[in-house]
Amino acid sequence: MSKSRVDVFRVDVMEGARIALFSLKANRMRTVLTTVGIGIGVATLLAIVGIIQGLNSSFDRQLATIGANTLQVSKFPWVMRGDWWLYRNRKNFTLPQVEQIRAQSSFITAISPVVGRGADVSHGEEQLSTVGVNGVTNEYLTISGYEVTTGRFITESDNETTRPVAVLGADVAEGLFPGVSPLGQTIRVEGRPFQVVGTLSRKGKLLDNNQDLIVMVPFKTFYAAFGKQRPFSIAIAVASAEEVRRAEDQLIGIMRRVRGTAPDAPDDFSINRPEMLANTYQQLTGALYGVAVGVGLITLLVGGIGIMNIMLVSVRERTREIGIRRALGARKQTIVFQFLMEASAVSAVGGGLGTVVGLGTAKVVSLITPLAAEVQPLTVVAGVGFAAIVGLLFGIWPAARAANLDPVEALRYE
């Protein structure tokens, strides 16, 4: 582009911007109403997207507490598709099978049977209901991702001698021993005494499951105290997340072999990965996300139609002005720039105000409800940018109509 053309383009832009701003100022009420229309669209879109992004981030953080390099073998799949009774009638696992898996797998770094139940836990006058009581072995600490904050974890000796010892989750320790160290104290689980030997770090919730409202006891102690009727699952850790799929493939063959599954029979066990929960969550929220964004886009579309309508009115009102400018030598390009800048300015201002309202709404929702809200900076930029683009797109027809007016006819317009 030559220097003269650059100068002409710069003059067109500056002059168009000046006239556009003057026109917006002269029609304040119209400008405000149009701005509010596009602002509502942007606010709706950002509020919805912010809440959904917050939920996604919250779920990702919760899922990370499981560990990307873990597997859990159980009778029931985490995501159940099919008849519950088919899973219920599967054979229970046995401890010899756990040892065979340990011996035959080349990927496993830690393995532990896990059995659990809900129970009332008390100390003195303090009592907590529906606490998760899990029977595990010493290797479960490596698999679960918990950290011991005080004391120690369950040992192999605790398990072999069925010692009545317990390790408390953060909420249990705080609930039963407010301001006091629980180490060495005795708690009662369904009336049975257990000595506290350690406490665990806080992990938060996973979906609706509070991972801190938990008591861990030795696996064999659990069966000795609460009976052996409950089936257990098998928690497994591998060296890295990259080896999980290969470990799973190998584990399928091992499990079928140690359980004596016939070659033509389906698997009578389920191997669960954290990735399965993530896939299910994405399937559940994907449709919601699409509908929510669709609502926001429809609102923006309505705002864009409002901009087009107002700009067409503006063109009609300023027909004589356009004729005078064209008669004095204004080019079509200059007229187009003027009306496009007017449309995009209204839309951008509305987008900015909508962004503030949308972010505020998302924040208020996160404060007064369990829903999280987290708007990424790129989303904010995209919201304002998209609003400006909406203004440009819906301003094209009015701008082209203004530029293509016949100067003679425009001068005669009353």
Cα distance between residue 235 and residue 73, in whole Å:
6
Would you say residue 279 has pLDDT above 80? no
Coil, helix or strand at residue 282? helix
Coil, helix or strand at residue 307? helix
Over range 254-282, report the average pLDDT.
Answer: 82
pLDDT-based confidence at residue 377 (cuts at 50, 70, 90): confident
Confidence (pLDDT) at 167: 96
Over range 32-43, report the average pLDDT.
Answer: 76
| CB burial string 59-92: b at 16+ within 10 A, e below | beebbebbbebbbbbbbeeeeeeeeeeebeebee
Going along 233-356, which residue ranges are E strands?
Answer: 233-238, 270-272
Choose among 146, 160, 171, 180: nearest CA to 95: 160
Confidence (pLDDT) at 161: 94
Would you say residue 266 has pLDDT above 70? yes
Q: Are strands 126-136 and 270-272 parallel, antiparallel or unpaired?
A: unpaired
Backbone angles phi, psi at 405, to 5 degrees: -65, 140
pLDDT-based confidence at residue 369 (cuts at 50, 70, 90): low
Are 112 and 234 a contacting pair, CB within 8 Å?
yes
More confident residue, 315 or 140: 140
Confidence (pLDDT) at 235: 92
Confidence (pLDDT) at 183: 94
Which residues, 6 or more positions from 203, have their beta carbon under 8 angstroms from its beta carbon? 65, 145, 146, 170, 211, 212
Over range 329-339, report the average pLDDT.
Answer: 74
Cα distance between residue 221 and residue 218, in whole Å:
5
Over range 9-33, report the average pLDDT.
Answer: 62
Would you say residue 25 has pLDDT above 70? no
pLDDT tens-digit map of 168-185: 999 999 999 998 899 999
Confidence (pLDDT) at 240: 83
pLDDT tens-digit map of 102-119: 999 888 899 999 999 999
Token couple for 147: 């950290």
Confidence (pLDDT) at 169: 94
Backbone angles phi, psi at 341, to 5 degrees: -70, -35
Q: Are strands 126-136 and 186-189 parallel, antiparallel or unpaired?
A: unpaired
Would you say residue 2 has pLDDT above 60? no
Would you say residue 85 has pLDDT above 90? no
User: Which range (10-19, 48-57, 215-224) has the least confidence?
Assistant: 10-19
Confidence (pLDDT) at 371: 64
pLDDT-based confidence at residue 414 (cuts at 50, 70, 90): low
Going along 5-105, which residue ranges are E strands?
Answer: 70-74
Q: Which of 24-33, 129-138, 307-316, 382-391 has the highest mean pLDDT?
A: 129-138
Would you say residue 7 has pLDDT above 80? no
Q: Classify residue 28 as exposed, middle or buried by CB count within 10 Å of its CB (0-12, 13-18, 19+).
A: exposed
User: Which range (4-18, 50-64, 168-182, 216-230) has the least confidence?
Assistant: 4-18
Confidence (pLDDT) at 139: 93
How remote is the C-alpha of 8 from its chain's centroid? 50
Confidence (pLDDT) at 62: 67
Choose among 406, 282, 310: nearest CA to 28: 310
Confidence (pLDDT) at 16: 55
Name the average pLDDT for the chain. 80
Cα distance between residue 43 and residue 46, in whole Å:
5
How remote is the C-alpha of 212 from its chain's centroid? 21
Over range 306-320, report the average pLDDT.
Answer: 76
